[in-house]
């Protein structure tokens, strides 16, 4: 069974109605590492619906969390907001300074600023969850029941956290963080508690009271998480391996949830997505590829396939170079397969059946729209990358595809694929070993490095290319004929050809590239080289 179906089976044992939750703190720019959590949740919800259950995906926006530091993208003036809740402070403007006008006039907060682009990326990949803003939930009193249990029983909460996590809490720890006289969650000392008020003094020498029914503060994370499982009726939640580690916040959370009076959700722990050669993604360090940036380069169904085709326990290395090419081409190969026919083979081993079932479900989960059947473009990523580089005009790309037996007119899917391909080629992420630069005239330095035998290849190439059938196979045959006429090996043939056509010693397969170039232009280039 595909991993999403395994989770759906577990949920079916709990009942027919489910709320699958994901959640992220909007403290900085989101990156595609964050997509793994929400896509994992989305795929579990889809699998549950496919199994006949009523399942909904929700997205908890942790905008009640505090700003923890002045990140590199922020102006130094944000120092005054450290400890303040992300939903209650102004968003940064283009210069990283607080945008007070928009905050005062539109209520546009720091959390909104980083959340909205992520939601737009989610819409493009077919994920439209119900939003559950945490700050609004606190202010509406939704946390008050759990907060009362915690504040009435601080010793029981302390015992769970210290026993399960193995760490000792400070003597002055209390299960409620009040907002101080400046609106910060940091630096308060609890002096007394009498429901619903938590009394405090702060680092500014001020004293006051925090009303937990009005959300004038928040629960610490290890309590906040299990509390919202309850009033949001969460039955399943995927989360990163840090929360799922032994003694981590899920282990403490499931005991605290029972104290709060509800069951913890069914968990699914996932591994991180890292950038190839750069390690784990981090918004604060700048080691990221944002969802919108990724979607400029990658068709949304390919991003979904990246997650659907990987077991949650397996770390994903996101490679925007050749790894992306291989991933996209694997997706295209799968869309061209007839899984139902393959499964009818009575001689299939159980292992092969599992592989086919997993591939089929991964492909279904890659569809942007839930009931949509994935369709093949019949054009590989490699071939599209080739055409996009040597044919700057889109119509020339479509003409080339028509001439080679492709569709008579481009489909919307192909048009979208070409648009993203051109963006990928223009970006820093495009792999250099796929980059194509066909010379407009012979490169003097490259030609000077050829020996006499290699130059002789070009003499014969002028004739063999002129007579060749203008296809990849025909051009390859012309290369071989030129080598035989010059009495040299193919190493010398390709050394001469790469020097002439690409001003390089080696490169991507040359015959398919030339087959998509104008025949007259290529023959003229050979003639100019012989006259030079």
Instruction: Dump pLDDT digits (tens) for 45-104.
Output: 999 999 999 999 999 999 999 999 999 999 999 999 999 999 999 999 999 999 999 999
Statement to judge: residues 31 and 44 lie in one domain: yes
What average pLDDT is seen over the chain?
Answer: 93
Helices (H), 83-198: 100-106, 110-124, 134-139, 144-152, 154-165
0.85 cut: is pTM over it? Answer: yes
Please enumerate in sequence order all residues whose Cβ is within 8 A of that of 276, keeping only pairs 6 or more positions apart, or say none: 317, 318, 319, 320, 321, 323
- Cβ neighbours of 255 (radius 10 Å): 18
Residues 128 and 234 in one domain: yes
Cβ neighbourhood burial of 246 (10 Å; 0-12, 13-18, 19+): exposed
Cα separation, 472 vs 515, in Å, equals 5
Mark whether 114 and 45 lie in a shared domain: yes
Look at residue 479 and tell me if it is in a domain.
Answer: yes
Do both 95 and 124 map to the same domain?
yes
Q: Which domain holds residue 182?
A: 144-218
Q: In what order do the strands lie in the sheet with 316-318?
A: 279-280, 273-275, 316-318
**pLDDT confidence bin for 18, thresholds 50/70/90:** very high
Segment 232-257 shows an average pLDDT of 96
* C-alpha to C-alpha distance for 189 and 14, rounded to whole angstroms: 42
Domain tally for the chain? 4
CA dihedral over 211, 217, 220, 225, signed as positive or negative: positive
In a domain, 208, yes or no: yes
- The verdict on 42 and 186 lying in the same domain is no
Which range is least confidently modeled, 142-146, 384-388, 403-407, 417-421?
Answer: 403-407
**Residue 412 shares a structural domain with residue 524:** no
Residue 364 inside a domain? The answer is no
Give domain status of residue 191, yes or no: yes
CA pair distance 444, 441, nearest whole angstrom: 9
- Separation in Å, CA 57 to CA 42, 134, 142, 383, 399: 6, 16, 20, 37, 43
**Model confidence pLDDT, tens digit, residues 249-288:** 999 999 999 999 999 999 999 998 887 766 665 555 555 6
**What is the pLDDT at residue 286?**
55
Residue 287 included in any domain? no
Domain containing 518 — which CATH number?
Answer: 1.10.10.350
* pLDDT category of residue 16 using cuts at 50, 70 and 90: very high
What would the mean pLDDT of 430-451 be, rounded to a whole number? 90
- Which is it for the CA torsion 231, 198, 23, 91, positive or negative? positive
Q: Has residue 451 been placed in a domain?
A: yes
**Do residues 377 and 413 make contact, with C-beta atoms less than 8 angstroms apart?**
yes
What is the pLDDT at residue 442? 94
* 208 and 230 housed in the same domain: no
Question: Based on the domain organization, do 249 and 394 belong to the same domain?
Answer: no
Tell me what the mean pLDDT of segment 241-245 comes to.
92
């Amino acid at each position: 069974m595909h991993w999403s179906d395994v989770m759906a089976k577990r949920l079916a044992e709990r009942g027919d109605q489910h709320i699958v939750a994901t959640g992220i703190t909007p403290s900085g720019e989101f990156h595609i590492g964050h997509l793994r959590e929400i896509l994992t949740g989305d795929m579990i919800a889809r699998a549950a619906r496919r199994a006949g259950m009523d399942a909904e995906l929700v997205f908890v926006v942790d905008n009640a969390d505090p700003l923890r530091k002045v990140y590199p993208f922020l102006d130094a003036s944000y120092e005054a907001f450290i400890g303040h809740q992300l939903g209650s402070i102004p968003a940064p403007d283009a210069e990283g300074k607080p945008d007070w006008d928009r905050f005062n006039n539109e209520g546009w907060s720091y959390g909104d600023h980083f959340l909205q682009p992520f939601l737009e990326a989610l819409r493009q990949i077919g994920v439209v969850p119900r939003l559950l803003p945490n700050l609004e939930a606190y202010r509406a009193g939704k946390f008050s029941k759990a907060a009362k249990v915690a504040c009435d029983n601080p010793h029981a909460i302390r015992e769970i956290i210290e026993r399960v996590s193995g760490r000792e809490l400070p003597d002055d720890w209390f299960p409620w963080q009040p907002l101080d006289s400046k609106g910060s969650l940091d630096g308060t000392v609890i002096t007394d508690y009498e429901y619903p008020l938590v009394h405090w003094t702060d680092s500014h020498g001020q004293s006051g009271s925090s009303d937990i029914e009005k959300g004038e503060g928040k629960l610490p994370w290890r309590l906040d998480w299990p509390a919202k499982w309850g009033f949001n009726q969460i039955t399943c939640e995927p989360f990163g391996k840090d929360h799922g580690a032994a003694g981590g916040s899920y282990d403490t959370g499931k005991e605290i949830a029972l104290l709060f009076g509800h069951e913890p959700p069914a968990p699914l722990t996932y591994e991180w997505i890292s950038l190839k050669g750069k390690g784990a993604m981090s918004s604060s360090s700048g080691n990221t590829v944002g969802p919108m940036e990724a979607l400029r380069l990658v068709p949304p169904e390919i991003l979904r396939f990246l997650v659907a085709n990987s077991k949650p326990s397996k770390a994903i290395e996101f490679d925007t170079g050749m790894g992306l090419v291989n991933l996209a081409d694997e997706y295209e190969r799968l869309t061209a397969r007839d899984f139902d026919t393959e499964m009818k083979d009575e001689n299939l081993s159980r292992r092969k059946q599992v592989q086919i079932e997993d591939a089929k479900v991964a492909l279904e989960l890659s569809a942007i729209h839930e009931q949509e059947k994935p369709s093949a473009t019949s054009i590989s990523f490699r071939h599209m990358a080739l055409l996009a580089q040597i044919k700057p005009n889109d119509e020339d790309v479509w003409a080339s595809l028509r001439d080679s037996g492709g569709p008579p007119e481009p489909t919307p899917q192909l048009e979208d694929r070409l648009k993203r391909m051109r963006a990928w080629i223009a970006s820093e992420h495009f792999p250099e070993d796929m980059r194509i630069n066909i010379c407009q005239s012979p490169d003097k330095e490259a030609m000077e490095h050829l020996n006499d035998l290699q130059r002789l290849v070009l003499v014969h190439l002028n004739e063999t290319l002129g007579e060749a059938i203008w296809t990849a196979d025909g051009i390859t045959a012309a290369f071989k004929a030129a080598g035989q006429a010059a009495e040299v090996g193919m190493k010398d043939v390709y050394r001469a050809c790469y020097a002439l056509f690409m001003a390089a010693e080696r490169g991507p397969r040359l015959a398919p590239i030339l087959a998509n170039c104008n025949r007259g232009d290529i023959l003229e280039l050979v003639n100019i080289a012989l006259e030079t």
